[in-house]
């Protein structure tokens, strides 16, 4: 997966961009082309030597996706296929608000029960407003 996680935006793109998969139930489609020589610009004017399209799925076959809406708790639980038991992960990711599921989906695809928790959106909280006693460790 190094080819995908190490991708950078094309030169001239907006600064600070990062790949965030919003819909984990559809694949991320990546077009890969090989050109003669070293190119840093002008790809659209060149003819590639070879081209391929690959898909990166975030949810493996058999992974269960369960929406959780219980009072102020909002999130998505991803369970791997099979009877379990599974090691568990609570995924608290993203300071910009909104539910970020791609990491939990990938963890469940590799055998972890993982819950992506939307801990900002319910009250429009800021990081310093999050009360850690909201979570219970068992």
Structure tokens, 41: 């610009």
Tell me if residue 34 falls in helix, strand or coil: strand
Tell me what percent of the residues of the chain surpass a pLDDT of 70: 75
Residues 92 and 108 in one domain: yes
Of 15, 33, 56, the one marking the end of a domain is: 56
Question: What domain count does the chain have?
Answer: 2
Q: Is the confidence at residue 99, as pLDDT, over 70? A: yes
Q: Which letter does DSSP use for residue 104 in this model?
A: H
Instruction: Name the nearest CA neighbour of 52 among 39, 77, 66, 33.
Output: 33
Residues 68 and 52 in one domain: no
Of 56, 80, 95, the one marking the end of a domain is: 56
**pLDDT (tens digit per residue) in 10-19:** 777 787 766 7
**pLDDT (tens digit per residue) in 49-94:** 999 998 888 899 999 999 988 877 788 999 999 988 999 998 887 6
Residue 109 structural domain = 64-134
Residues 70 and 35 in one domain: no
Task: Note the pTM of the prediction, 2 decimals.
Answer: 0.70
Spatial distance between the Cα atoms of 64 and 43, rounded to a whole number of angstroms: 40
Residues 92 and 128 in one domain: yes
């Amino acid at each position: 997966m190094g080819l995908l996680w190490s991708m950078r935006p094309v030169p001239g793109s907006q600064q600070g961009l990062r790949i965030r998969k919003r819909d984990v139930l559809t694949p991320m489609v990546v077009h890969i082309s090989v050109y003669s020589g070293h190119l840093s610009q002008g790809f659209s004017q060149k003819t590639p030597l070879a081209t391929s399209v690959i898909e990166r799925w975030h949810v493996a076959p058999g992974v269960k996706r369960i929406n959780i809406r219980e009072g102020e708790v909002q999130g998505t639980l991803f369970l791997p296929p099979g009877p379990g038991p599974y090691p568990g992960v609570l995924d608290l990711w993203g300071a910009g608000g909104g539910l970020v599921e791609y990491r939990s989906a990938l963890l469940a695809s590799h055998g972890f029960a993982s819950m992506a928790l939307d801990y900002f959106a319910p009250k429009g909280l800021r990081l310093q407003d999050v009360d850690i006693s909201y979570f219970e460790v068992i």
